[in-house]
Structure 1
C-alpha cells in the first residue's frame, strides 16, 4: 500500500447467515481526505465501519487502515484512530468530564501528565467547555453526540471515523461540528464520515463513496461528480425574444418557461454578450451543476427515499 492511503479494502464482503450485508466492497480513502460514506439506512454503512475497526470480522476480503492489515494490526493502528459508531458510548452515571478522564486513562500509552488539560481542551473544542458536573444520563442527545466526538478526539488521531456524527444536533450544532471537522482536516486529520444526509456530505466532504444495498456504486472526488453539465441557466424578462434570438444563432435551448431557459453553451459570458447585443435583458446567468442528489438518484436503485435530500444546487457563473 502507498503511504498516502488511509483506508483501503478489496473484495470486502460480510454475510449474516444467508444475508449479504456488504458485497465485494473496495474503499479508497486517501490521507487528507474528508471522505463521505453515503448510503440509505440499512445499506451496510455501519457494518462496514465496524469491520474497518475490527469490531466485526469480515466473511472475506482485505482491509488496510493507515497502511496496516486489520484486524491483525489493531494494537498498532487503533491508537491512531478516533471513532464514534452507532452513537456515543459513555458511563451514564458519570459526568462528561469524568468520562473523558476515564477514557484517557484507559487509552494505550496514556500519560497522566497533562490529562486534565487534554480533557478540558477537548471539551472546549466540541462546545462542552462550560458543561457542569451533571451525569451524562441527563444530557440531551446533541450533548451526547458532542461528548462522543470529544472521546474520539482525545488522542489527536491521524484518522477520525464517525458514524452519523450530527445525529440529534440542531442546525447551529451541525454547523459547529462541520466547522470543527474541517479545522481538524486542515490540521492534517483524515476524516471518514458515514451518513445518510446528502446535504451534510455535500457541504463537508471532498471525496464521496455511495453504498447501495451493500455495494459501492459511486466513488469519486465530489468536484468531479458535481462538474458542470454543459448547460447555462438563463433568466430573462423577455423569454420569447431570447428563445427566438438563440434559435437564430443556432443555440440549443433544451428547456424553457416564462422566465428561464436552459441553454447548451460552453461560455456563459459569451452567451450573455450575444443577448445583450440584441437588446435582450438578462437578470440571471449561472452554470448548471449536478447536485449530489442527482448523482445518488442516478446511481442507486430507484433513489431510496430514506436519503435526506438537499434542494437543487446551482452555482453562479461568476
Structure 2
C-alpha cells in the first residue's frame, strides 16, 4: 500500500526526513511513533503529495507520488495536523465543500455520504453552529468524518485522538477497528503508546528524521526468556530456584526460564504456591526507548559529543 525508498526531505540545512524506507502492507494497522520533531508529520505530508521530496521515491497504492497523486487520493482518506476547516461555516457545509473540491467526489450521493460519515464519528446530531464554536474533540471528529467520505482503501491519520477524552479515544479506536475489518488499511501516527499498542499490529519508530525501527508488534514484543512469578512463598521459591532468579520485588520474582508451564510444574511439585506466572515481554514503551536511545547515542558518537 505504501513503499518509500531512501526518502529524504530537507528544509535548507535541516533534514526533516532522512533516507526513510517505509513499508505499509495491505491490511496493516501500522503505528508510526516517535518524539516531537522526529519527522512523522513531514513523512505523512510527503506521502500525500503535500510537500515534495528532496530525494528518494514514494509509491502509494502502487502509483508514484507526487506524479500520480490525483489518481491516488480518491482512494485515500487523511487527517493531518488537525482538520483544515472554514471556522465561520457549519460542519456539514465544510464537508460539502471538502467533498466537492477533492478528486473523486460525487454530487448525487454527497448528502448521504456526509450523513453516514458524521454518524460513524459520533456527530450525527451536528447543528448549524460554525466550526469555531466546536470543541477541539469535535473538530477532530469532523476531520475524521472528512477522511471517511469516500470509503477509503487507505486511511492516513496524524494524531486523530488529539483533544478527545478517554471515552472518545475508545470510540475512535473502535471505529478504526471496524473500518479495518471492512478492508481499510490504516497508517496511524501518534505519540500515545497505549493507543498504538491497543490497535496496531505493525509499528515504525522515527527518530531524528530516520526510521530507526520497523517490524510486527508481536515480533518486537517476543518473550525475553524470563518469567514473572508472583507467590506468597517467595523465600521458598528463591531457595528452590537458586541461580535462576534475576530480580525480586516483594512477592514478585523475575526468573530466567523459557518455559512457563515447566516452571509452574516445578513450583507446584515443590509445594510453592503460585498466584501469577507469565512469560515476560518487553513493553512497547521499552522498545521505543531502546531504539531511540541507541540511535541518539550513535549520532553523538559520529558527532564526537554526548547525546542530546
The answer, yes or no, to whether TM exceeds 0.5 is yes
Residue 55 (structure 2) aligned to one of 39, 56, 60: 60
Residue 298 (structure 1) aligned to one of 272, 290, 305: 290
CA-CA distance at 1:197 after TM superposition: 1.5
Aligned to 2:28: 33
For residues 201 and 195 of structure 2, what CA distance do their matches in structure 1 show?
12
CA-CA distance at 1:102 after TM superposition: 2.0
For residues 111 and 277 of structure 1, what CA distance do their matches in structure 2 show?
70
CA-CA distance at 1:112 after TM superposition: 2.1
Q: Is the 8 A contact 1:296 1:303 kept in 2?
A: no
For residues 35 and 206 of structure 1, what CA distance do their matches in structure 2 show?
6
CA-CA distance at 1:162 after TM superposition: 0.8
Q: Is the 8 A contact 1:239 1:257 kept in 2?
A: no
SS at match of 1:100: helix
Unaligned 5+ runs, structure 2: 297-308
Q: Is the 8 A contact 2:207 2:295 kept in 1?
A: no
Unaligned 5+ runs, structure 1: 1-5, 305-318
Aligned to 1:289: 281
What is the correspondence of 1:1-318 to structure 2 with a 5 Å cutoff? 6-247=1-242, 252-301=244-293
For residues 280 and 63 of structure 1, what CA distance do their matches in structure 2 show?
58
Pick which of 190-199 and 165-174 moved more: 190-199
CA-CA distance at 1:278 after TM superposition: 1.3
CA-CA distance at 1:303 after TM superposition: 9.5
For residues 194 and 294 of structure 1, what CA distance do their matches in structure 2 show?
18
SS at match of 1:295: helix
SS at match of 1:55: coil
Render the CA deviation track for 1:183-223: whole Å, top value 9, x for unaligned: 11111111011112211111111110000010111100011
For residues 299 and 105 of structure 1, what CA distance do their matches in structure 2 show?
43
CA-CA distance at 1:280 after TM superposition: 1.4
SS at match of 2:293: coil
CA-CA distance at 1:79 after TM superposition: 1.0
Render the CA deviation track for 1:252-290: whole Å, top value 9, x for unaligned: 111123211111112212211211111111111122111
Change (3 A) 1:35 1:233: same
Q: Is the 8 A contact 2:117 2:145 kept in 1?
A: yes
Output the TM-score relative to the length of structure 1. 0.90
For residues 93 and 245 of structure 1, what CA distance do their matches in structure 2 show?
72
Runs of 4+ in 1 over 4 A off after TM superposition: none
Aligned to 2:305: none
For residues 253 and 103 of structure 1, what CA distance do their matches in structure 2 show?
61
CA-CA distance at 1:302 after TM superposition: 6.7
Pick which of 265-274 and 234-243 moved more: 265-274
CA-CA distance at 1:131 after TM superposition: 1.5
